[in-house]
Structure 1
């Protein structure tokens, strides 16, 4: 479903930057949900509403919340007829989590409660990437069984599939015993989660040299664009810059990052986004339909210049608390972009 690139210190001064290219066309629209916005509409299961929930912004099976948490679905297979889908789990984790570790706990609790006990062959399989300002987790799930690896430094890149092997920092209760019961683990060797379920390890290479220092949002944009040169069709791209002071989330909302513009969103007390990023009756967003008419050879360089100017301007806000002036930041950028496509 997606590929993810993440950079921790020392390649950046502080915080975390992660980027995602999505191959799934369920990632067409960008939607914003205010805090305490209501019960998440799950695909096949009713989930009781929490009394207090966080605001979040969603681009298909990835998104971020107002607690500086970002989540992406890397992989999903065997969608359950009952229980929770990858999209359900992404939304529920975003609305209920104030840290990456808490999001792992939320997802594990939900799958334990709502997923069915089924044979491994037909159990839903999910891979999530979950990140906050200090750490990230790659979480791989088969039915009610799961394992997660914690990441706190360096640079990593993940593709579609499982990535948890022998470094298991969190796991479902009695994981090894349950695997022995179904003859998937002998108990004497080191457990390799991906290998146990015959999953090809999905860690991938950086499209360019791995970052060493001075990494930035703009450089992550270029990573995603470079990766697009040798990838299948990319439906949309997303970058989160997570810092203690503020988090900035950048969305294309359009296919192929090489011919798309990254637009910023910052959580404020009265954040609003454009209706141009919501699906209409024809299952397309107005932004995407207008983007189809682009004459990139004529407007591409100008749009990328405006993107860079936007990054430079946003950098001036990053060390300060967001203000009401940023309430319609993404909305303004989307509406400015489409003028070039009309």
Structure 2
């Protein structure tokens, strides 16, 4: 997930369906997120960048740094100040739905059904040639390209429908705080735990008024209930955020065409490590944990209030905004120490 200086935000999720996933060299969903943000100044342009790259290079490749193979196709949630799109893929084939209103979410299953606003030119013919669609009944992308019974998407359990329920509950009145609360909902299973743990969350406020800044809140840490959503605003002069920058360990072996690591390298940045240590304290030393959690919550409330003031008053101090995120990281680290 990420954002750029134009107010474009993109996130992706892993999806699986009828189409087999190739094991050759291709672009990861995370590559497509990064390239879409690098090259587009609107949500629809980001969509076009992604599908053009998908057509040219395909998608796939191992998403793990170890030798264990883990591959998938991708769905994307793409938004800017004016519009939002859901893009879902199956190999090089894809369908996109423009979000006209209400709430929308993605997870580990295809969710675009009969409302398709843009599509791969061969999407329907390919499905027909494989016997997935008879060419007569109304074309339903999710039902055709996945094994999921789409009728169960909003009624059964799972991250997709639980996320939709939480969003729909607050439809029309979602604030940044409510979004953070939703992302912290443990029972819904929105956040992954265990081997594929959620490593961070992001909430973006994209005002339609062009004179107001887009404000992005990033945790940069796992365990949402014990994390601080720290504000970031794109302004000139921002330097590299070293304490939330993961270390690098070199490139893949160009001869053997495989990662040079036999085990997963430790890419945790400084804040991530301190956060994890603090999480252990919170779980084991109850009094200290309560005190630390209270300070974390107060810091976040203070930053949210500060950002609301900027949006209400329409005034942004560029000099303060340059260090906005990094200063909040320092304050969070002080709590952990």
Do they superpose with TM above 0.5? yes
> Residues 273 and 334 (structure 1 numbering): CA distance in 2 closer, same or farther, change over 3 Å?
farther
2:156 aligned partner: none
Q: Deviations over 1:237-287 (max 9, x none)?
A: 111111132111111111121111100110001123531112236321111
Please state how far the C-alpha of 1:199 moved relative to its aligned partner: 3.9
2:203 pairs with 1:239:
yes
Question: Is the partner of 1:71 in helix, strand or coil?
Answer: strand
The answer for the alignment partner of 2:303 in structure 1 is 310
TM-score (structure 2 length as normaliser): 0.76
Q: What's the CA shift for 1:107?
A: 0.8
Specify whether residues 146 and 82 from structure 1 end up closer, same or farther in structure 2 by C-alpha distance, changes over 3 A only.
same
**1:261–1:307 Cα contact (<8 Å) kept:** yes
Tell me if 1:284 matches 2:268.
Answer: yes
Q: Residue 230 of structure 1 is aligned with which of 155, 172, 188? A: 188
Per the alignment, do residues 208 and 193 of structure 1 end up closer, same or farther by CA in structure 2, a change over 3 Å counting?
A: closer
List 4+ stretches of structure 1 deviating above 3 A.
76-80
Normalized per residue, the structure richer in strand is 1
Q: Distance in 2 between matches of 1:116 and 1:253?
A: 26
Specify whether residues 187 and 82 from structure 1 end up closer, same or farther in structure 2 by C-alpha distance, changes over 3 A only.
same
> Paired residues, what number?
276
Quote how far apart the aligned CAs of 1:68 are.
0.5
Give the Cα–Cα distance (whole angstroms) in 2 for the partners of residues 208 and 76 of structure 1.
21
Task: Give 1 or 2: higher helix fraction.
Answer: 2
For 1:289 and 1:311, locate their aligned partners in 2 and report how far apart those are by CA, in whole Å. 24
Q: Secondary structure at the match of 1:306?
A: helix
Give the alignment partner of residue 330 of structure 1, picking from 318, 322, 325. 325
Q: 1:260 aligns with which of 218, 227, 245?
A: 227
Q: Deviations over 1:30-51 (max 9, x none)?
A: xxxxxxxxxxxxxxxxxxxxxx
Alpha-carbon deviations, 1:171-201, whole Å to 9, x = none? Answer: 0113212322232221111111111122435
**Aligned residue in 1 for 2:68:** none
Identify the residue that residue 286 of structure 2 maps to in structure 1: none
1:73 to 4, 12, 17: 12
What is the CA–CA distance in structure 1 between the aligned matches of 2:173 and 2:72, rounded to whole Å?
40
User: Where do 1:63-212 residues align within 5 Å?
Assistant: 63-76=2-15, 78=21, 80-115=23-58, 125-200=73-148, 201=150, 203-204=160-161, 205-207=164-166, 210-212=169-171
**RMSD, aligned CA:** 2.3
Compute the displacement of 1:321 (Å): 5.0
CA distance, structure 2, for counterparts of residue 142 and residue 314 of structure 1: 39
User: Taking structure 1 as the reference length, what is the TM-score of the superposition?
Assistant: 0.75
Gaps of 5+ in 2: 61-70, 154-159, 250-265, 283-288
User: Which ranges of structure 1 fall in alignment gaps of 5 or more residues?
Assistant: 1-61, 118-122
Aligned equivalent of 2:292: 299
Q: Distance in 2 between matches of 1:151 and 1:168?
A: 10
Query: In the alignment, is residue 217 of structure 1 matched against residue 210 of structure 2?
Result: no
Match of 2:63 in 1: none
